[in-house]
Structure 1
Amino acid sequence: MLLSDLTVKIGSQSLLSIDHWAIETNQSWLVMGTNGSGKTTLGRVLANEQKLSSGSLTHTPNKVQFLSLESQQELYERELYRDDTDFIDQIDNGTPVRELLSEVHAWSDRHEQLSASLHLEPLLDRGYRVLSSGEGRRVMLARALLDEPDLLILDEPFEGLDLASRKELHALITNLINAGHWLILLVNQFDDVVQGFEHMALLDKGKLLYQGPLSAESSESQWLHLAALNKTPISLPPTLGDTTPWPADKPLVQLTRGFVQYDETFQFQGLNWMLMPTQHSQIHGPNGCGKSTLLGLITGDHPQCYRNNLEVLGYQRGQGESIWQVKKNIGYVSGALHRDYRVSGNAVTAIISGLTDSIGVYQATGDSEHHLAMQWLEIIGLAEKANRPFKKLSMGEQRLVLIARALIKQPKLLILDEPTQGLDDFNRHYVMQVVNTLITGNDSTLLLVSHRQDETLDCIKSRLVFTPSTLKNTLFDVNFLGPEYREA
């Protein structure tokens, strides 16, 4: 492939500008760049999914598969469109994984092999819409590999995967390269550098800064130069939310013999747990264990919250409380929220919607709300994109906006479910620094889910840990490790 004098623009803004880049057939490249660097635009160009503003792309392969966070969102939206819940006597969980894989080719030994290598066997009869984000990523990768493309472009394939799955995917990509497959890997974190690549390109603000040989020394020095962490102290703006302190002796969340059950199988059961004010906690466990499900019980987004003996922020679930009474004191970020935030509106209104606990803004807001949202856009470095439609932001920029949306009211309970998914190294650490500033500066209590080993805070002293259960009808046990717990 040959990229010559190539540009991609939206209006007057340049998204990608490459003077000259030659990619030889079967020459695998690692492409690194921070959020907004143009990686996804590059992937779409190479896959012939993006119209050029000028220049040319020639000598392209016949069949290209481009796997990205955006393509996973497109499949999710297709599944929502096909939702038949209103026409059948049960909840439609989406197309079964087996059927999704069979859409590419009729079922064969190749499907069996890929299902085994990507650990999809337990998921084959589950609907796509009830998969975790990490499980959905593995399904998307299997679909791409089944198509046997000449060139496979992977954009952030590790997002949402637990540590074990990340290691397995690293090994799988290395094996694909060693077996002669043509790959281009787009990543925004140094930990996602995969063994086997001999060539590297570095993007920043749509420009190709470096292309050439890849070595551990060259890639790390280039990356650290680009993503050096800004140590400037963070000053948070005031809040328009309720500043009344939560009573220190009153739990924010109390779950008694909590459970989630599907047919005859429990995802977990018998969970007795209290979350006290400022008892900052982290939830650990592999993909699909029930971490996000537990958070859905708390936020009211999972229907089984009303089957449980659950009290959240002083309200007993199922006793006539309004969902808005509960959510007014919760700030929330998750992959599910990101998937479902599909309304029109710009970056400012997306952040303001955190004050109204809605997806989109449907009531009058004033100058004070707009000014506060602009302050948060300054904090996350996107003030110049305040009026950009939310859907036109990169996935990483969208995630930053949703984080600001969760923080804007500085809530009593801050629930972050894989908050930095899609963010580069700089923004991951910066976001955690902002969160730390928030929870040490007021009475917000943090409940965090993250697969990243370097994403924790010193203030976190308690943990909920999901482990495989020994009970026949239960998938996972949940163990509470209190403030006295210390990791080895």
Structure 2
Amino acid sequence: MQFHQVEVEPRHGPTLRLDQWQLEPNQSWVILGGNGSGKSALARLLNGDLPLARGEFRDRPARVHWLSLESQQALYERELYRDETDFSDHLDPGTSVRELLEEIRPWDEAHDRLVALLKLAPLLDRGYRLLSSGEGRKVMLARAVLDRPDLLLLDEPFEGLDRQARLDLIDVLGELANGGQWLMMLIGQRQDVPPWATHLALLDRGQLMLQGTADAVLNHPDWTAALDLSARESFDLPERQSDFQLPDWPADKPLVELHNGRVEYATGVQFEGLDWQLRPGEHTQIHGPNGCGKSTLLSLVSCDHPQCYANNLTVFGYRRGQGESIWDIKKHLGLVSGHLHRDYRVAGNALTAVVSGLTDSIGVYKDTGAHEAQLARQWLDLLGLADKAGEAFKRLSTGEQRLVLIARALIKQPPLLILDEPTQGLDDVNRFRVLAAVERILEAGPTTLLFVSHRDDEQPALIRRHLRFSAEQPGASALFRITTE
């Protein structure tokens, strides 16, 4: 591929300018850039979705497969459209992983090899909608490789993967690169640069700041300077909203109680025998591999999982299934998760999406006032999105959407804050900004945190308790043991 004086003008985001840049099929490129740097515009240009405004783009690969969070969302929405649960007497699990892989081409030795490399064998007969976000990412990668593209374009491929799955994926991609697959990876975090990258480029506000061999770029003095993120911003939090707090809640009274917790699907029991309490101020991080039940547990607590009624579960003093209103519970919590992001598909702008955190709905369906709008603007400003308030939520980049949903969760500064891999899709600058805001909230008042992250560098300082899921019975019907510390 050769770029000469190229300019691309996306409808949203900065103009992408590539003056002189040449890439060869025997090179494995990693493009590093923050949210709004122009990575999406580059991907759309390579994929043939954006026309040139000017300049020359020669030797574009004939077949490009773009694997991104957006493509994973598109497959999820296809599966939602096909969901027949409402027309039958059982849960429709959706298209199985085996069927999804066979959609690309009939089963052959390449399928067997990828299933082994990506450790997909236990998932083959599971429906796609029942997979965790990390498991879904691995399935999407397998589909992309089976498509045999000339260029495999990987947009944030490590998002949602646990530590071991990340290491496995690095090995798989290294094998693909060594086997002749032309790879380009777009990432926002420097820790994700893999050892097999032969070439690196730094993209900032639509400009290619650095590019060349990996050794030359990593040793360039501007590389460290451009990525120096050690200084954290100081800021004041917006006012805590008293209507959503728990006045006079005793310090020793659990916010959440689960006795002999159990979740079972058609494929088997996911976990069972969980006795757990969460008291005010016991900030807790939940650990475990993809598919172990971390997100399932959090969805029980947030009352979004149908099996919460089948469990002995009490949240904010309300025993689930005893006639309480779900809104009495949701009023006191804030939530960020991959499931929420996937399901937030309504019309509306960024400001409305943040305000919806006060109404606990996807979208806003009742009148809200000037105070609520001003509060939402304050949170957008704090997270660097002041100029996006009027933008349609659907037209924002994936990272910007995630920041909006984080603001939505934080706007109440609630008694219970549930963050399930909240920084997916964020660059380092925005990731540190979000984590700093969360720490300020925990320091400033009575908010208790439930936190999930697969990143070693995301360990909020105030977390003192840990809940760990570990495989007790590996395989297609894995059973997980849970320990607390």
TM-score by length of 2: 0.95
> 2:267 & 2:8 partners in 1: Cα distance?
53
How far does residue 35 in structure 1 lie from its aligned partner after superposition?
Answer: 1.1
Residue deviations 1:234-282, cap 9 Å, x none? 2101033434353212110000000001247211111100000011001
> 2:397 is matched with which residue?
394
1:251-262 to 2 correspondence within 5 Å?
A: 251-262=254-265
> 1:25 is matched with which residue?
25
Sort the Cα spacing of 1:318 and 1:385 in 2 relative to 1 into closer, same or farther, 3 A: same
Question: Are 1:242 and 2:233 counterparts?
Answer: no
1:463-482 to 2 correspondence within 5 Å?
A: 463-470=466-473, 475-481=479-485
Which 10-residue stretch deviates more, 59-68 or 154-163? Answer: 59-68
> 1:329 & 1:213 partners in 2: Cα distance?
51
Contact 1:229/1:430 (8 A) holds in 2? no
> 2:127 & 2:228 partners in 1: Cα distance?
39
How far does residue 387 in structure 1 lie from its aligned partner after superposition?
Answer: 0.9
> 2:15 & 2:121 partners in 1: Cα distance?
40
> 1:372 is matched with which residue?
375
Residue deviations 1:382-411, cap 9 Å, x none? 101111111111111111111111000000
Amino acid at match of 1:55: G
> 1:271 is matched with which residue?
274
How far does residue 201 in structure 1 lie from its aligned partner after superposition?
Answer: 1.3
Contact 2:10/2:50 (8 A) holds in 1? no
SS at match of 1:377: helix
How far does residue 50 in structure 1 lie from its aligned partner after superposition?
Answer: 2.5
Residue deviations 1:435-485, cap 9 Å, x none? 00001100000000111111112211111100112599761011121xxxx
How far does residue 202 in structure 1 lie from its aligned partner after superposition?
Answer: 1.0
SS at match of 1:247: coil
How far does residue 229 in structure 1 lie from its aligned partner after superposition?
Answer: 4.1
**Which of 285, 297, 301 matches 1:298?**
301
> 1:340 is matched with which residue?
343
How far does residue 139 in structure 1 lie from its aligned partner after superposition?
Answer: 0.2
Contact 1:156/1:186 (8 A) holds in 2? yes
Question: Are 1:430 and 2:446 counterparts?
Answer: no
> 1:485 is matched with which residue?
none
How far does residue 9 in structure 1 lie from its aligned partner after superposition?
Answer: 2.6
Which 10-residue stretch deviates more, 282-291 or 183-192? Answer: 183-192
> 1:442 & 1:82 partners in 2: Cα distance?
44
Contact 1:7/1:14 (8 A) holds in 2? no
Contact 2:14/2:37 (8 A) holds in 1? no
Amino acid at match of 1:234: F
Amino acid at match of 1:222: W
SS at match of 1:469: strand
1:92-131 to 2 correspondence within 5 Å?
A: 92-131=92-131
Amino acid at match of 2:238: P
Contact 1:269/1:474 (8 A) holds in 2? no
> 2:214 is matched with which residue?
214
Amino acid at match of 2:58: T
Amino acid at match of 2:316: L
SS at match of 1:319: coil
> 1:220 & 1:152 partners in 2: Cα distance?
30
Question: Are 1:312 and 2:315 counterparts?
Answer: yes
> 1:7 & 1:188 partners in 2: Cα distance?
22
CA-atom RMSD in angstroms: 1.8
Contact 2:30/2:186 (8 A) holds in 1? yes
* Percent of aligned positions that are identical: 55
> 1:12 & 1:110 partners in 2: Cα distance?
39
> 1:3 & 1:41 partners in 2: Cα distance?
14
> 1:315 & 1:459 partners in 2: Cα distance?
27
Sort the Cα spacing of 1:347 and 1:114 in 2 relative to 1 into closer, same or farther, 3 A: same
Residue deviations 1:309-358, cap 9 Å, x none? 00001110001111111100010000000011111111111111101011
SS at match of 1:202: strand
SS at match of 1:116: helix
Contact 2:10/2:41 (8 A) holds in 1? no
> 1:223 & 1:329 partners in 2: Cα distance?
42
Sort the Cα spacing of 1:326 and 1:152 in 2 relative to 1 into closer, same or farther, 3 A: same
Contact 1:334/1:416 (8 A) holds in 2? yes
Contact 2:13/2:38 (8 A) holds in 1? no
Q: Which runs of 5+ in 2 are unaligned?
A: none
> 2:474 & 2:437 partners in 1: Cα distance?
41
Contact 2:233/2:433 (8 A) holds in 1? no
Sort the Cα spacing of 1:198 and 1:416 in 2 relative to 1 into closer, same or farther, 3 A: same
> 1:217 & 1:25 partners in 2: Cα distance?
21
Contact 1:173/1:194 (8 A) holds in 2? no
Q: Which runs of 5+ in 1 are unaligned?
A: 482-488
Contact 1:190/1:223 (8 A) holds in 2? no
Sort the Cα spacing of 1:264 and 1:218 in 2 relative to 1 into closer, same or farther, 3 A: closer
Residue deviations 1:153-205, cap 9 Å, x none? 10100000000010111111122222221111111111110122222111111
SS at match of 1:14: coil
Residue deviations 1:398-441, cap 9 Å, x none? 11111111000000100000011111122222211110000110
Residue deviations 1:6-43, cap 9 Å, x none? 33334586342223322223332110001111112211
> 1:264 & 1:43 partners in 2: Cα distance?
37
1:49-68 to 2 correspondence within 5 Å?
A: 49-68=49-68
1:319-358 to 2 correspondence within 5 Å?
A: 319-358=322-361
